Amino acid sequence: MTSLTYRDAGVDIDAGNRSVEMIKKHVKSTYRKEVLGDLGGFGGLFALDWAKYRQPVLVSGTDGVGTKLCIAFMAKRHDTIGQDAVAMCVNDILVQGAEPLFFLDYLAVGKLQPEQVADIVGGIAAACKESGCALIGGETAEMAGFYKKGEYDIGGFAVGIVERERLITGAAICPGDVLLGLPSSGLHSNGYSLVRKVCFEHKHIGMDEVVPKLGKTLGEELLTPTRLYPKICLPLIEAFEIKGMVHVTGGGFYDNIPRVLPEGCGVEVDITTWPRQPIFDLLQEWGNIAWDEMYRTFNMGIGMMLVAKADEAQRIKAALAAQDEECYLIGRVTDSGAVCLKGGEFGVE
């Protein structure tokens, strides 16, 4: 009888080792001074600088990329999806005022292809650097027979820090406060099950088909990575009284905004106050999707929202303009207890 090996069963340990060698430079490029040790240990080490904090609070978050992965598989392009994994996590912990400290990833593949892994982790590392956090660990699991050839899943885990007194909880939000919106880069990483149904099952558009209103191929548009907001927002958190923040993800406007509002508070949003990328109008048209459904599913061009006092709005906008960042005054806090959209497709009150 032939002696069987792990490789015969579909798991190639040598390929795993080659993958580690290929990603080392990416990982090390993200290290902050607080990182201890080197890649390859059983745990990532991070030493807090206790002299910097009085009452530090660690804020953690985890997320994945969802069915946007299907687009990467179809395009056979894997260098952008890592940013999505990082952004979904660091943007979430940012909402509570946390500076991202470190990130870990979990990558599960059917058959390990070192070059594919290097593309994915390279994207993760670049996004970590842009967000100011270190990539200090991860897991690459080769699961033979579980995933189809070329397919994988990815999960991310972020830990950040904030002084207890600077935690952003939304508790101080009150009627009269205003809602400021920072633009998204497009769809980000949400609603892709609906996107795929509209584009591929209903309209039968090819990934490589150039869509004139987009000025690029459909695949290029759908793989645009989620925007990273930490370096944009952390200086604002330091300089202004930001009462609340909203990362607009799955659930769109209707489900995400109420998560930061005190009981009894609502918001009125004027959808005419910001430009939305053409992809949203195209999806609505192609799928004949109700506008309520669009704003419940997608970010509609606003990826992050800030809640602040009305008299600070212009100063916040000026601070962002100094960074060449767009910011829109998109709404106000009310005592309605509900999210109300007005203007454009929703009419004007």
Say what percent of the chain tops pLDDT 70.
99
Contacts of 239 (CB under 8 A, 6+ apart): 319
pLDDT digits (tens, 9 = 90+) for 105-124: 999 999 989 899 999 999 99
Contact 218, 195 (CB under 8 A): no
> Based on the domain organization, do 182 and 331 belong to the same domain?
yes
Whether 171 maps to a domain, the answer reads: no
Count of beta carbons in the 10 Å neighbourhood of residue 321: 11
pLDDT over 80 at 164, yes or no: yes
Of 108, 135, 166, which residue is a domain's last?
166
How many CB atoms neighbour CB 318 within 10 A? 10
Q: Tell me: the pLDDT tens digits for 175-203? A: 999 999 999 999 999 999 999 999 999 99
Query: In the numeric block, which tokens belong to residue 260?
Result: 């930061």
C-alpha 66/C-alpha 322 separation (Å) is: 35
Among 315, 263, 270, 292, residue whose Cα is nearest residue 179? 270
Q: Tell whether 20 is covered by a domain.
A: yes
Residue 3 lies in a domain: no
Residue 316: the pLDDT is 98
Q: Which of 143, 166, 189 is the last residue of a domain?
A: 166
Domain holding 318, by residue range, is 178-346
More confident of the two residues 263 and 40: 263
Give a yes or no: residue 91 inside a domain: yes
pLDDT value of position 18: 83
Number of folded domains in the chain?
2
Within a domain: 285? yes
Work out the mean pLDDT of the chain and round it to a whole number: 94
* CB-CB contact of 111 with 145 (8 Å): no
Domain containing 33 — which CATH number? 3.30.1330.10
The C-alpha R_g of the chain, in whole angstroms, comes to 22
pTM score above 0.75: yes
Same domain? For 121 and 257 the reply is no
CATH code of 280's domain: 3.90.650.10
